[in-house]
């Protein structure tokens, strides 16, 4: 991620919220911005606005990961390199490893 500009994620987030038609006050508040003028004084974010934002973002996520056989899986966590379901025959202690006949 060293070459990525992380702040661009915020821009994409705002675009999604705008595209989904969420109220300006809810979008700007979520972005950490304050609205100026009368709108900034009298407009407030309601729990319903936040719920609708969460629902629309969840819907976007579910469309992204897909359904059925087209499910997207993250590349992590990666599986263990050793099959841990097979029992190890015996435990080697540090002492027995040093005992040389």
The Cα 98–Cα 92 span in angstroms is: 10
* Per-residue pLDDT band at 13 (split at 50, 70, 90): confident
pLDDT tens figures, 61-75 = 888 777 666 666 667
The Cα 12–Cα 60 span in angstroms is: 12
Contact 26, 53 (CB under 8 A): yes
Q: In this structure, what DSSP letter does residue 20 have?
A: T
The candidate with the shortest Cα–Cα distance to 25, out of 55, 54, 50, 57, is: 50
Q: Where are the domains of the chain?
A: 1-67
Query: In this predicted structure, what is the pLDDT of residue 26?
Result: 93
| Residue linked to tokens 């900034």 | 40
Greater confidence, 38 or 100? 38
């Amino acid at each position: 991620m060293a070459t990525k500009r992380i702040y661009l994620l915020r821009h994409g987030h705002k675009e999604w919220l705008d595209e989904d038609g969420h109220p300006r006050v809810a979008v700007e508040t979520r972005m950490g911005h304050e609205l100026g003028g009368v709108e900034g004084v009298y407009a407030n974010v309601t729990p319903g606005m936040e719920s609708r934002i969460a629902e629309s973002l969840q819907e976007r996520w579910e469309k992204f990961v897909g359904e059925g056989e087209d499910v997207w899986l993250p590349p992590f966590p990666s599986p263990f390199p050793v099959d841990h379901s097979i029992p190890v025959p015996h435990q080697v202690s540090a002492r027995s490893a040093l005992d040389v006949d």
